[in-house]
Chain A
Amino acid sequence: MKKVIAQIYLWILMILLYAPLVFIAIFSFTESKVLGSWSGFSTQLYENLFTGRMQESASLISAVENTLLIALVSAAVSMALGTVAAIGIFNLTGRKRRALSFLNNIPMINPDVITGVSLFLLFVFLHFSQGYLSVILSHISFGTPYVVLSVLPKLQQMNPNIYEAALDLGATPGQALRKVLVPLLRPGMISGFILAFTMSLDDFAVTFFTRGTIGLETLSTFIYADARKGGLTPELRPLMTLIFLIILVLLLFINLRQAKMQKANE
């Protein structure tokens, strides 16, 4: 009996979690303009999406491009900064190390709206013109802590003498970093990059406050504006379904890789 209740509970939970996604996915295969009404199966929306035969096709494509560009650049910079920061934090001792790890966690817990507004005020205060650069800088600032968080455990697993061993064998500090540290930290750096990348893709609040008035749109701000104008453009339904599928594949890939690495370690 207990087992049945547990099963039912689990299924209700799964349905609640995935119903919206399934809903969008199902209604991406019908032409109806209004979300929720079924006008027969069709792949027209997918066709429109890829052939550009839809309203505001150009601005949607540019929003997707902006989103990807911002996410790639900010995740790459976050990966570099976060790795260096993790090495720095790791080499501290005692109170300093705990304090810095704690400070690293705050931006991740801090509500996005507050981060966004504070960054907005900062840019205004510094007379920094807002646009691509301010959005990328903002995304770097919230992406970096995730990289730090995923690189630190890799450092802790590493033999403490590895870096010294490289120096001892005649590597300059730079060579030791490139030839020994980076290869060993790479799995952590990649997980950090993926985390920072998805965080950036996902972001609305921070982008909204820091994009300025030059009309820069990312996917999230575009959808927000589009929904306010009068219902969601139907072609967004297949787009969201596709993004979900890409993320799903990415997650499966990461998990499989981790499982494989764990197996190799044993």
Chain B
Amino acid sequence: MAGDHIIDLRHVSKRFGDKAVLEDINLYIRKGEFVTLLGPSGCGKTTTLRLIAGFLAPEEGEILLDGKDISGIPPHKRPFNTVFQRYALFPHLDVYDNIAFGLKLQKVPTDEIDRRVRKVLKMVSMTDYEERDVDSLSGGQQQRVAIARALVNQPRILLLDEPLAALDLKMRKDMQIELKEMHRELGITFIYVTHDQEEALTLSDTIVVMDEGKIQQIGTPTDIYNEPVNSFVADFIGESNILNATMIRDRRVAFIGHEFDCVDEGFGENNPVDVVVRPEDIYFTRDEARAQFRATVRSCVFKGVHYEMYVDTDTGFELMIQNYDAYPVGSEVLLYIDPDDIQVMRKERTCNTFEGEMVDETHVKLLGGSFECLPQPGLTAGDAVTVQVDFDKVDLLDHQEEGVLAGEVHFLLYKGDHYHLTILTEDGDHIWVDTDDIWDKGDLVGVDIAPADLKICKRNEA
């Protein structure tokens, strides 16, 4: 273990009832670092923070502080302080007593309490508010008091759970700058939880992107933005064009019906991959020789600093482009992408693979439902089987009761000419679906699969 780690999470898992919230989390945080846990709601970021604070205990794994396991140490003995999402100030105490709460418990002498409270109030620009009732303060002021209340105890780590989520945009931006400033002045470690990717990019030294209880990627803001490891990270951080592609050979990749040079190696030959191209990385040109493909501008919207355009390529894909110059709707444009700006990502999967069991010759049970399949010679009822279904062979129905399974659209990704959906079934399984139809996140759907599209083979009981 490197000596500059303050916190180490090793193989940490946490479940609520039978729902796994965190699965095998491994993470280290360096002294003085500003680390952000970033992800959509329900990804496990707040649970991770609460494990570090000690409000929850992990089922498996260990949490180390300076290399020593702190599982047995209750929250009030850990040298951390938390800024809660909804402030959690004590409404029966005034500003001064809220901030002095921790110091009074430690039996710090009164004159020192006084000195430290005033110092920290000055730091959060709340001098002269000592005797105010906390309920009479605005959201931003309450947040400042909450930060002061945590910092006055001189914690080794400051934990922040979406501290700015309840503030309006302007105030949020101001507080971001102030937090960054405080971090630099104090030099202590900040662990920050947010679902706001822009906030994470602005504040952090290191970003930990989480989804579904797993760490997706750890890196600096520029790493995460420029080199996302999978389509989830690419989609979550910033705007992006995520497309199906084929790696032809090292440094050569095909997508949207064209071939491009790129800088990635080691993805094999003729392998399916995902690529992400940021909308600001697709360039316009007038030079026929330089152009890699043609497109027609379908829409163009002014966004303040840049224009955001959607173009249809000559091969029928839709791309988002951001540029300082506007191109008129309907005009034909020539486009190119630099090899550096094409980020190739390994595909997490290329088709659905389920484990199932034969019910009889023409029915197979999988994901908790019984599907009709083609007659399977050589298989008998009760045989364990593996079933593969292509993404585009799953039918989604408007009404849950019409399908064999009921599910909900959990995540969706536009891939230039179709949507890639993640369907969460009622039993908590995932089905991935490619579709041309437009669905929204949270839509309730029925799931059906045609008998001919179930590719069944016997599973070896090893």
Taking Cβ atoms with an 8 Å cutoff, the residues of A that contact B are 159, 161-162, 164-173, 175-176, 179-180, 183-184
List residues 46-89 of chain B with CB under 8 A from any CB of chain A.
53-55, 74-77, 80-82, 84-89
Answer whether A170 and B76 are a contact pair too, CB < 8 Å, given A164-B82, A175-B105, A184-B92.
Answer: yes
For the complex formed, measure the closest distance between the CB of A264 and the CB atoms of chain B, giving whole angstroms.
8
* Interface pair B153/A164, CB less than 8 Å apart: no
Taking Cβ atoms with an 8 Å cutoff, the residues of B that contact A are 53-55, 74-77, 80-82, 84-92, 101-102, 105-106, 149-150, 153
For the complex formed, measure the closest distance between the CB of A126 and the CB atoms of chain B, giving whole angstroms.
39
In the complex, what distance in Å separates the CA atom of A172 from the CA atom of B53?
14
In the complex, what distance in Å separates the CA atom of A250 from the CA atom of B153?
44
* Interface pair B102/A169, CB less than 8 Å apart: yes
Contact of B75 among A162, A168, A180, A184 (CB under 8 A): A168
For A161, what are the chain B residues with a Cβ–Cβ distance below 8 Å? 84-86, 88
Of chain A, the residue at the smallest CB distance from B105 is: A170
For B88, what are the chain A residues with a Cβ–Cβ distance below 8 Å? 159, 161-162, 164-165
Interface centre among A165, A172, A175 (most CB of B within 10 A): A165
Answer whether A170 and B84 are a contact pair too, CB < 8 Å, given A162-B90, A165-B90, A180-B90.
Answer: no
Of chain B, the residue at the smallest CB distance from A163 is: B88
For A168, what are the chain B residues with a Cβ–Cβ distance below 8 Å? 53, 75-76, 80-82, 150
For B91, what are the chain A residues with a Cβ–Cβ distance below 8 Å? 184
Additional 8 contacts, C-beta under 8 A, given A164-B75, A180-B90: A164-B53, A169-B76, A169-B105, A170-B76, A170-B105, A170-B153, A173-B74, A184-B90
For A184, what are the chain B residues with a Cβ–Cβ distance below 8 Å? 90-92
For B77, what are the chain A residues with a Cβ–Cβ distance below 8 Å? 170
Answer whether A164 and B105 are a contact pair too, CB < 8 Å, given A159-B88, A169-B153.
Answer: no
User: Which 7 residue pairs are nearest across A and B when measured between Cβ atoms?
Assistant: A169-B102, A161-B88, A165-B88, A161-B84, A167-B75, A183-B92, A168-B82
In the complex, what distance in Å separates the CA atom of A162 from the CA atom of B149?
13
* Interface pair B102/A170, CB less than 8 Å apart: yes
For B90, what are the chain A residues with a Cβ–Cβ distance below 8 Å? 162, 165-166, 180, 184
For B86, what are the chain A residues with a Cβ–Cβ distance below 8 Å? 159, 161
For the complex formed, measure the closest distance between the CB of B141 and the CB atoms of chain A, giving whole angstroms.
16
Answer whether A169 and B81 are a contact pair too, CB < 8 Å, given A159-B87, A175-B105.
Answer: yes
Answer whether A171 and B92 are a contact pair too, CB < 8 Å, given A165-B82, A166-B101.
Answer: no
For the complex formed, measure the closest distance between the CB of A97 and the CB atoms of chain B, giving whole angstroms.
14
Number of A-B residue pairs, CB cutoff 8 Å, is: 64
A to B CB contacts below 8 Å, 28 in the list: A159-B88, A161-B84, A161-B86, A161-B88, A162-B88, A164-B53, A164-B55, A164-B84, A164-B88, A165-B88, A165-B89, A167-B55, A167-B75, A168-B75, A168-B76, A168-B80, A169-B76, A169-B81, A169-B101, A169-B150, A169-B153, A170-B102, A170-B105, A171-B101, A172-B76, A179-B101, A180-B92, A184-B92
In the complex, what distance in Å separates the CA atom of A161 from the CA atom of B101?
16
For the complex formed, measure the closest distance between the CB of A156 and the CB atoms of chain B, giving whole angstroms.
14
In the complex, what distance in Å separates the CA atom of A179 from the CA atom of B97?
12
For A175, what are the chain B residues with a Cβ–Cβ distance below 8 Å? 105
For A171, what are the chain B residues with a Cβ–Cβ distance below 8 Å? 76, 101, 105
For B85, what are the chain A residues with a Cβ–Cβ distance below 8 Å? 161
For A164, what are the chain B residues with a Cβ–Cβ distance below 8 Å? 53, 55, 75, 82, 84, 88
For A172, what are the chain B residues with a Cβ–Cβ distance below 8 Å? 76
In the complex, what distance in Å separates the CA atom of A164 from the CA atom of B74?
11
In the complex, what distance in Å separates the CA atom of A170 from the CA atom of B87?
17
In the complex, what distance in Å separates the CA atom of A244 from the CA atom of B369?
68
For the complex formed, measure the closest distance between the CB of A197 and the CB atoms of chain B, giving whole angstroms.
24
Of chain B, the residue at the smallest CB distance from A165 is: B88
In the complex, what distance in Å separates the CA atom of A161 from the CA atom of B55?
10
For the complex formed, measure the closest distance between the CB of B14 and the CB atoms of chain A, giving whole angstroms.
16
For B106, what are the chain A residues with a Cβ–Cβ distance below 8 Å? 170
In the complex, what distance in Å separates the CA atom of A166 from the CA atom of B101?
8
For A173, what are the chain B residues with a Cβ–Cβ distance below 8 Å? 74, 76
For B153, what are the chain A residues with a Cβ–Cβ distance below 8 Å? 169-170
Of chain A, the residue at the smallest CB distance from B99 is: A169
In the complex, what distance in Å separates the CA atom of A209 from the CA atom of B175?
66
* Interface pair B74/A167, CB less than 8 Å apart: yes
In the complex, what distance in Å separates the CA atom of A170 from the CA atom of B74?
10
In the complex, what distance in Å separates the CA atom of A146 from the CA atom of B110?
42
Interface centre among A162, A170, A173, A179 (most CB of B within 10 A): A170
For A165, what are the chain B residues with a Cβ–Cβ distance below 8 Å? 82, 84, 88-90
In the complex, what distance in Å separates the CA atom of A248 from the CA atom of B85?
44
In the complex, what distance in Å separates the CA atom of A20 from the CA atom of B411?
69
In the complex, what distance in Å separates the CA atom of A131 from the CA atom of B369?
64
In the complex, what distance in Å separates the CA atom of A80 from the CA atom of B259?
75
In the complex, what distance in Å separates the CA atom of A174 from the CA atom of B269?
65
In the complex, what distance in Å separates the CA atom of A183 from the CA atom of B74?
23
For B87, what are the chain A residues with a Cβ–Cβ distance below 8 Å? 159
Of chain B, the residue at the smallest CB distance from A176 is: B76
For the complex formed, measure the closest distance between the CB of B381 and the CB atoms of chain A, giving whole angstroms.
36
For the complex formed, measure the closest distance between the CB of A90 and the CB atoms of chain B, giving whole angstroms.
16
For B80, what are the chain A residues with a Cβ–Cβ distance below 8 Å? 168
Of chain A, the residue at the smallest CB distance from B55 is: A164
* Interface pair A169/B84, CB less than 8 Å apart: no
For A179, what are the chain B residues with a Cβ–Cβ distance below 8 Å? 101
In the complex, what distance in Å separates the CA atom of A6 from the CA atom of B224?
72
Of chain A, the residue at the smallest CB distance from B90 is: A180
For A162, what are the chain B residues with a Cβ–Cβ distance below 8 Å? 88, 90
For A167, what are the chain B residues with a Cβ–Cβ distance below 8 Å? 54-55, 74-76
In the complex, what distance in Å separates the CA atom of A184 from the CA atom of B76?
20
In the complex, what distance in Å separates the CA atom of A166 from the CA atom of B97?
12
For A183, what are the chain B residues with a Cβ–Cβ distance below 8 Å? 92
In the complex, what distance in Å separates the CA atom of A172 from the CA atom of B54?
13
For the complex formed, measure the closest distance between the CB of B17 and the CB atoms of chain A, giving whole angstroms.
9
For the complex formed, measure the closest distance between the CB of B87 and the CB atoms of chain A, giving whole angstroms.
7
Interface centre among B84, B85, B150 (most CB of A within 10 A): B84
